Structure 1
Amino acid sequence: MNKGFSLNQATTKRWPLDELVAGCVAAGVPAVGLWREEVAEFGSDKAAALIRDAGLAVSSLCRGGFFHEADWYDDNRRAIEEAATLGTDTLVLVSGGLPGKSRDIDGARRHVSDAIGALVPDARAAGVRLAIEPLHPMFCADRCVVATLGQALEIAAAHPSDAVGVCIDTYHLWWDDQVWDQIAAAGRAGRIAAFQLADWITPLPAGVLLGRGMPGAGCVDLRRFATAVHDAGYRGYVEVEVFHEDVWSRPGPSVLAEAYAGYRAFAA
């Protein structure tokens, strides 16, 4: 049995944090996944106190990474500190794309590996685990050169499993016929730090990043993913993380109810 359902803040992007927390408490939801931009707008210390006083857990903070940016080191150190302040032990890393006009994707991946290595001492000192999230290959150029779970595991393998793990997101990995073996390998190595549910819907919108569907709305075999992750030994929270304008335009309580129903249908 996993720890239960967590509402990722991205799914209800326009629901103010204080209302989101109250809604989760009212619905009996035990945890939330947070995003740095929204937390910063609310105030990190204020957000930490709000969530702590409500009795909620923070399943993860998103995001660190974007190692192609010039200030990656300082920004990621701040992200680690923010995660510790919020009381979560998981900082999700989206690695970033190709720097400038570079076409050297191998070099970019080496840089990601080196950058994570540089952050490990800070993360361990703060009690925060770095969770490398592979994104769908269509995001390699500008958002994430780590495109498969196998690539994420290869980077993580150089570090202790309690310091560096992986984030498994169904939206990004459903297409890969190697993912089932990779999930099993991640479990054997103790590397699964986070698990996120979202569906793949078509046609994709013009802003492809906002093309995620609520669980059950698309073509991903979510139950197979949940079973594979559970069989691999993961017992953490299951986050529902969806980016879509139609979802964001709806009232927060309605989206929360649908997200929880999706979790119950596919991952409980």
Structure 2
Amino acid sequence: MPADRPISINQVTTRERWTLEQAVDGYARHGVAGIGTWSEGVREMGVARAARRIRDAGLAVTGHLVGGLLTESEPAARRARIDDNLRVIEEAAEIGARCIVTIAGGLPAGERDLEGARARALDGLAEILPAARAAGVTLGLEPLHPMICAARSVLPTLEMANDWYEALAAGGDGRGLGIVVDVYAVWWDPALAREIDRARGRICAFHVSDWLAETVDLRLDRGMMGDGVIDIPGIRVMVEAAGFDGMPEVEIFSARDWWRRDPDEVVRIVRERCRTAV
């Protein structure tokens, strides 16, 4: 990636050692241009205060997490999820997020009806989409790796994300909708090039990290770019050819390595790897 290209860092990358406020200060201090935020950090800090601090630091919010998780079948639990999504939409609008990173949700405890869970997630997205459109916020549909289908997302492929986008944008109205491409989730997909091209004009966020060949955890063992097996530059070229014009956002969940390190060291290495491995 060109050395002068701006980058974003998702606050989860330094979450064990830095609060949101510390992350905002730290990223800005290191010359990082953007941040990905999480509701828990924003709510802890206070939405208005978080929005002001991020703005004053000169950071763009490349994505706000987490939206979706709409597979609940029990009515009260489903209503609670809808209400939380409406709150996330309000937060994203106030902090000026480029999109809400929106995941489907997994299978509720004790359930095995995968198709039913997918139908509920799609119905839930249709229910919250008018609020997103009214707020000027984009719901970025993010497929996650099939290994966490049961726990986190019944939307496991970019092909299905494109299908859902098109179902929700029936009649050609794609307002309030986008697609998130996370290399960690999609790198393995034989249909990746075709589906990125199909997502032309839809991609609202591009997340980078690396897949370690001997990964030891389903969610919390992501590698620093260049330490694993993903052709990140190749995927970046594809998403940019498909019209994505934003910053790559570094999102590393790493309980055994990067979360244990000094965050200033992590950010320095992120910036270097974005020059050489993204």
Q: Same fold (TM over 0.5)?
A: yes
Range moving further from structure 2, 257-266 or 44-53: 257-266
Matched, 1:131 2:140: yes
Equivalent of residue 194 in structure 1, options 202, 205, 208: 205
The equivalent of 2:99 in structure 1 is 90
**Which secondary structure does the structure 1 equivalent of 2:35 belong to?**
strand
Matched, 1:214 2:224: yes
Looking at structure 2, the residues matched to 238 and 75 of structure 1 have their Cα atoms a distance apart, in angstroms, of 27
Equivalent of residue 266 in structure 2, options 255, 263, 266: 255
**Which secondary structure does the structure 2 equivalent of 1:209 belong to?**
coil
Could you list the structure 1 runs, at least 4 aligned residues long, displaced by more than 3 angstroms after superposition: none
Matched, 1:243 2:245: no
**Pairing of 1:174-189 with structure 2 (within 5 A):** 174-187=187-200
**Pairing of 1:1-268 with structure 2 (within 5 A):** 4-14=6-16, 15-69=18-72, 70=77, 71-158=80-167, 159=169, 160-187=173-200, 190-205=201-216, 207-245=217-255, 246-267=257-278
Cα pair 1:226 1:266 within 8 Å, conserved: no
Query: Cα offset for 1:249?
Result: 1.1
**Which secondary structure does the structure 1 equivalent of 2:199 belong to?**
helix
Cα pair 1:3 1:235 within 8 Å, conserved: no
Does the C-alpha gap of structure 1 residues 3 and 59 become closer, same or farther in structure 2, counting only changes over 3 Å?
farther
Looking at structure 1, the residues matched to 7 and 156 of structure 2 have their Cα atoms a distance apart, in angstroms, of 26
Looking at structure 2, the residues matched to 125 and 3 of structure 1 have their Cα atoms a distance apart, in angstroms, of 32
Query: Cα offset for 1:203?
Result: 2.2
Structure 1 length-normalised TM: 0.94
**Which secondary structure does the structure 2 equivalent of 1:199 belong to?**
coil
Cα pair 2:220 2:254 within 8 Å, conserved: yes
Looking at structure 2, the residues matched to 147 and 3 of structure 1 have their Cα atoms a distance apart, in angstroms, of 30
Query: Cα offset for 1:251?
Result: 1.1
Cα pair 2:148 2:218 within 8 Å, conserved: no
Cα pair 1:91 1:130 within 8 Å, conserved: yes
Percent identity, aligned pairs only, is: 41
Query: Cα offset for 1:28?
Result: 1.6
Query: Cα offset for 1:236?
Result: 0.9
Query: Cα offset for 1:266?
Result: 3.4
* Equivalences, count: 264
Q: Which consecutive unaligned segments of at least 5 residues does structure 2 have?
A: none
Looking at structure 2, the residues matched to 104 and 93 of structure 1 have their Cα atoms a distance apart, in angstroms, of 21
Looking at structure 2, the residues matched to 152 and 36 of structure 1 have their Cα atoms a distance apart, in angstroms, of 23
Query: Cα offset for 1:3?
Result: 6.9
Q: Which consecutive unaligned segments of at least 5 residues does structure 1 have?
A: none
Structure 1 letter corresponding to 2:181: I
Cα pair 2:98 2:204 within 8 Å, conserved: no
**Which secondary structure does the structure 2 equivalent of 1:113 belong to?**
helix
Query: Cα offset for 1:227?
Result: 0.7
Looking at structure 1, the residues matched to 120 and 271 of structure 2 have their Cα atoms a distance apart, in angstroms, of 38
Query: Cα offset for 1:215?
Result: 0.5
Structure 2 length-normalised TM: 0.91
1:111-143 CA deviation, whole Å, 9 max, x = no partner? 111111111110011110000110111111121
Structure 1 letter corresponding to 2:164: I
Looking at structure 1, the residues matched to 5 and 196 of structure 2 have their Cα atoms a distance apart, in angstroms, of 19
Looking at structure 2, the residues matched to 68 and 155 of structure 1 have their Cα atoms a distance apart, in angstroms, of 15
Structure 2 letter corresponding to 1:178: A
